[in-house]
Chain A
Amino acid sequence: MNKKLLEAVNISKYFLDPVHLQVLKKINFSIFEGEFVSIMGKSGCGKSTLLYILSTMDTDYEGDLLIDGTSMRNKKEAELARVRNEKIGFVFQFHYLLNEFSVLRNVMLPGLKLGRYSEEELESHAYEKLRILGIEKEAVKKPNQLSGGEKQRVAIARAMINNPIIIMGDEPTGNLDKKNGEIVYNIFKELADVYNQSLLIVTHDNEFASKTNRIIEMEDGQIINA
């Protein structure tokens, strides 16, 4: 049995505004090392809300979340930031690269924050990640000089820089055309197969989801099929 990376225990969430609404209803599931998991569901089923709780960015929920065996409840904001920095990589629908910095620097930022390696070491790590994603030639450019697909690949490199235990994605192909979406999917697949990287991707794209190892289907705030 592989190591358990992430475990959701009875996670519930309510929205109070505009009406009292339970968006998540006692969610329980686990993700193991090396898994490529997708969370599927219609718009409004609560899948994004769940991802934000799992990513520790949203702390307003009931139940418990264990990452790498540690409970995320009662952790301070700075400690959660540290967990995100060290153990989780993010890829969003939009790339959110900082236009003020070069591509390379963008990739390095979370690593610089972690401070585990020197700047020179990080630079070579960042080059390596960019090479895996096939965009090492763009390293010195500014993000706004890149195409949409390239930007998303830079965002993936940034997610990988600290060798996180899991990469989380929120509709990472949502903004891309079919071809670029395909490229991004292939990258994820390669990361999972070759580098044994665990991935948790939220999507409403059936085709994308069907190609992952495991699909968690959600409806109305509940998991209907894990």
Chain B
Amino acid sequence: MNYSLIGSISLSLLMARWKQTLVAAIGVTFSITMFIALLSFMSGLNRMLDGLIINRTPHIRLYNEIRPSDVQPIDRAVQFKDHYNFIHSIRPKNERLEIYNSGAIIQQLRKDPRVLGVAPKVTTQVFYTVGPIEMTGVINGIEVEEEDRLFLFRDYVTEGNYIDLKNIPNSIILGKGAAETMLTNLGDLIQVTTSKGERVQLKVVGYFQSEIQDIDKVQSYASVQTAQKLLGESRNYVTDIQVKLKDLNIAPVLAKEFRQLFEVEAVDVQTANSQFETGTSIRTLISYAVGITLLIVAGFGIYNILNMMIYEKMDSIAILKATGFSGKDVNRIFISIALSIGIFGGLLGLAFGFGLAYLIDQVPFVTAALPTITTYPVDYNPRIYFIGGAFSLVTTYLAGYLPSRKASKIDPVIIIRGK
């Protein structure tokens, strides 16, 4: 098969109608540009929103929960084994929030090759005392360095130095909202009443700003040791073990494994934030739908132009067939016209799409809720470009398929006789 011959015929037919061809190619370019820009932006946005949660949330959280026993005594009784037992007024069993044997669990987890890091945490309820007013709050006792390594703690400390939390004893990093209510400055001492009724003074070394205001009004951070002291517990007292994994996707499986292995509650990030996953996938779905619609519209443009071309070039097709070109050759000629529109328009579209995404990336985007974001988020994932390129080829091929088939079926006799 002589491909260069087919190519040169295609090219000359293309050039004979170059204006229409250009319009068709611009259609493809435009749709690919929009497809790339839209998806880059949408994907960037998704990644940012996911990051809000995923970066700060442990992939698996181990904790104890106050709840009724799974197995009630009657379930253990042999004589009622085959019965369905109704029990009224079940109460949760008296259980401490402490994780038993936390030191051994943490050691074990750190040895696990699937685990990226482990950060223990002590959570305790307190009252912030401001003169006569008491406000409820939660102090998270954290291992500062691990927390920063695994959950980017320093990104959310907007004022003060996060490491002071470790270096200065009895220090606290207040939530921005709580600090504003209490009218404190850095370096001030604040008074905190623990759940046991003790009053403790803590030094403010920083402000913490998550992107959720309700959290900032309530939550504060201290070191693990400070929190243990507040509670009057020993150095082993830990209420949460936060685990970050190397592979996020195995979290649900591992959570189940840990639950059985350590006999504690274990919740994975997917279960804890399922609404986020749903939001992400629906946003992705919508942007793909819009992008693909654009491409299909461009495909119809190509279809129209090829159809017109075939009517116009009916005689040429007939004489090609009369002088020995087979239907297959004619088919190839028109498919290659369609594909070259697709490739040319598609490549330009990919370039323009990258340009547009880059421009979006430069637009300032400042919001109080997102201190780490300064411009619109854009994802330059090559996958988007690959999908865009592949789709431009597929749509143009499909748009060329029907007209090409029609051209290949043209009977030379009809036209030659018709003159």
Chain A interface residues toward B at CB < 8 A: 48, 52, 55, 57-58, 77-78, 81-82, 84-86, 90, 92-94, 96-101, 109-110, 112-115, 158, 162, 170
Residue among B16, B318, B326 facing the most chain A CB atoms (10 A cut-off): B326
Interface string of B315-331 (1 = CB under 8 A from A): 11011111111111100
Give the residue of B322, B324, B411, B416 whose beta carbon is less than 8 angstroms from that of A82.
Answer: B324
Residues of A within 8 A of B325 (CB): 81, 85, 113
B324 close to A81 (CB less than 8 A): yes
Between-chain CB contacts (< 8 Å), 8 pairs: A77-B326, A82-B324, A90-B323, A94-B315, A101-B12, A113-B324, A158-B323, A162-B324
Residues of A within 8 A of B321 (CB): 57, 81
A58 close to B326 (CB less than 8 A): no
Residues of B within 8 A of A162 (CB): 324
Residues of B within 8 A of A100 (CB): 12-13, 15-16, 316
* B interface residues, how many (CB within 8 angstroms): 27
| CA distance in complex: A92, B415 (Å) | 11
CB distance from B12 to the nearest CB of A (A): 4
Whether A85 touches B323, Cβ cut-off 8 Å, given contacts A57-B413, A113-B329, is yes
B323 close to A77 (CB less than 8 A): no
Give the residue of B15, B319, B328 whose beta carbon is less than 8 angstroms from that of A78.
Answer: B328
| CA distance in complex: A205, B411 (Å) | 27
Residue among A77, A98, A170 facing the most chain B CB atoms (10 A cut-off): A98
A81 close to B326 (CB less than 8 A): yes
| CA distance in complex: A112, B5 (Å) | 7
B408: nearest chain-A partner, CB-CB: A77
Residues of B within 8 A of A110 (CB): 323-324
Decide if B412 is an interface residue (CB 8 Å cutoff).
yes
B321: nearest chain-A partner, CB-CB: A81
| CA distance in complex: A216, B328 (Å) | 36
Residue among B318, B324, B328, B329 facing the most chain A CB atoms (10 A cut-off): B324
Decide if B2 is an interface residue (CB 8 Å cutoff).
yes
CB-based closest 9 A-B pairs: A85-B324, A81-B326, A96-B319, A100-B12, A78-B326, A110-B323, A112-B5, A100-B16, A94-B419
How many residue-residue contacts, CB under 8 A, span A and B?
Answer: 78
| CA distance in complex: A159, B412 (Å) | 16
Residues of A within 8 A of B412 (CB): 57
Whether A82 touches B16, Cβ cut-off 8 Å, given contacts A57-B412, A96-B318, is no
CB distance from A146 to the nearest CB of B (A): 16
| CA distance in complex: A78, B321 (Å) | 10
| CA distance in complex: A77, B321 (Å) | 10
Residues of B within 8 A of A115 (CB): 2, 5
Give the residue of A58, A85, A93, A99 whose beta carbon is less than 8 angstroms from that of B413.
Answer: A58
CB distance from A222 to the nearest CB of B (A): 21
Chain B interface residues toward A at CB < 8 A: 2, 5, 9, 12-13, 15-16, 315-316, 318-329, 411-413, 416-417, 419
Residues of A within 8 A of B13 (CB): 100
B323 close to A84 (CB less than 8 A): yes
Residues of B within 8 A of A170 (CB): 416
Residues of A within 8 A of B2 (CB): 112-113, 115
CB distance from A11 to the nearest CB of B (A): 15
Residues of A within 8 A of B323 (CB): 84-85, 90, 109-110, 113, 158
B319 close to A98 (CB less than 8 A): yes
CB distance from B119 to the nearest CB of A (A): 71
CB distance from A115 to the nearest CB of B (A): 5
Residues of B within 8 A of A57 (CB): 321-322, 411-413, 416
CB distance from B340 to the nearest CB of A (A): 15
| CA distance in complex: A158, B419 (Å) | 20
A52 close to B327 (CB less than 8 A): no
| CA distance in complex: A81, B327 (Å) | 8
CB distance from A104 to the nearest CB of B (A): 13
| CA distance in complex: A90, B325 (Å) | 13
Whether A52 touches B417, Cβ cut-off 8 Å, given contacts A96-B315, A101-B12, is yes
Whether A77 touches B5, Cβ cut-off 8 Å, given contacts A48-B417, A94-B419, A100-B15, is no
B415: nearest chain-A partner, CB-CB: A96
CB distance from A170 to the nearest CB of B (A): 7
CB distance from A161 to the nearest CB of B (A): 9
Residues of A within 8 A of B324 (CB): 81-82, 84-86, 110, 113-114, 162
B15: nearest chain-A partner, CB-CB: A100
A108: nearest chain-B partner, CB-CB: B5
| CA distance in complex: A93, B321 (Å) | 17
CB distance from A5 to the nearest CB of B (A): 18
A53: nearest chain-B partner, CB-CB: B413
Residues of B within 8 A of A77 (CB): 326-327
Residues of B within 8 A of A78 (CB): 326-328
| CA distance in complex: A81, B320 (Å) | 10
A83: nearest chain-B partner, CB-CB: B324
Residues of B within 8 A of A113 (CB): 2, 5, 323-325, 329
A155: nearest chain-B partner, CB-CB: B319
B17: nearest chain-A partner, CB-CB: A100
Residues of A within 8 A of B5 (CB): 109, 112-113, 115
